[in-house]
Amino acid sequence: MKKTVFLSALFAVVTALGNVAFGRVYGGQVLYEIKVDFVLKLILTALIGVAVFTAALIYFKSRLYALTAGAIMLVFSFFILAFSSVKVYCEYKTNNYYEIAGAVQNFVTSDDSESFSVENVEFSYKDGSGAGYNTVQSSGGVISGDGRYIYIRYVKSGNRNIICYVENMV
């Protein structure tokens, strides 16, 4: 009995020390985690397709041209919107991501974009566009000014670091 209690206590201490050493402290609040929202993307692409169909119908005055243009734009926009999100989501869910923890530095925000760095890793995004976290502070974003300690999981896509997970470090 004493041996089991001792081993449990030892395991708890080692786990806690490991988490502190790697910048993780239990009790942090998850502020964001990526998810694939296909319904929203389908609605958005359907609206784009209808808009292109309507514009082509007015411009060409032919249903055949309008249907063709609308269908091409619908398929094209769906693949662009869905593929980028699904690719990043799959990378994240298969644990193919990078981790960084530290204070937010060089925080710059505007009405439609934000940029900042954590431990010299740079992040930037436009409000509501692209895959991953993309909500600026003025639209209710969870990342705020310099000095806040956060833990981020991110995926590299070209020259961008796409945020998949944000946790407030306590």
Tens digit of each residue's pLDDT (9 = 90 or more) over 1-54: 444 444 344 344 444 444 443 344 445 789 989 887 655 666 776 777 777 777
From 105, 132, 115, 155, select the one nearest 37 (Cα to Cα). Answer: 132
Which tokens in the block code for residue 101? Answer: 């923890």
pLDDT of residue 39: 56
Angstrom CA distances, 4 to 9, 10, 14, 127, stand at 9, 10, 15, 52
DSSP state of 94: T
**Cβ–Cβ under 8 Å, residues 114 and 124:** yes
Which tokens in the block code for residue 165? Answer: 């997970």
pLDDT of residue 37: 66
Which tokens in the block code for residue 82? Answer: 């869905």
Q: Compute the distance between CA of residue 24 and CA of residue 22 in angstroms, rounded to an integer.
A: 6
140 phi and psi angles, rounded to 5 deg:
100, 15
Q: Compute the distance between CA of residue 45 and CA of residue 72 in angstroms, rounded to an integer.
A: 11
155 phi and psi angles, rounded to 5 deg:
-115, 135
DSSP state of 163: E
Q: Strand 98-109 relative to strand 149-157: parallel, antiparallel, unpaired?
A: antiparallel
pLDDT of residue 81: 66
pLDDT of residue 38: 55
Q: Rounded to two decimals, what is the model's pTM? A: 0.65
42 phi and psi angles, rounded to 5 deg:
-65, -40
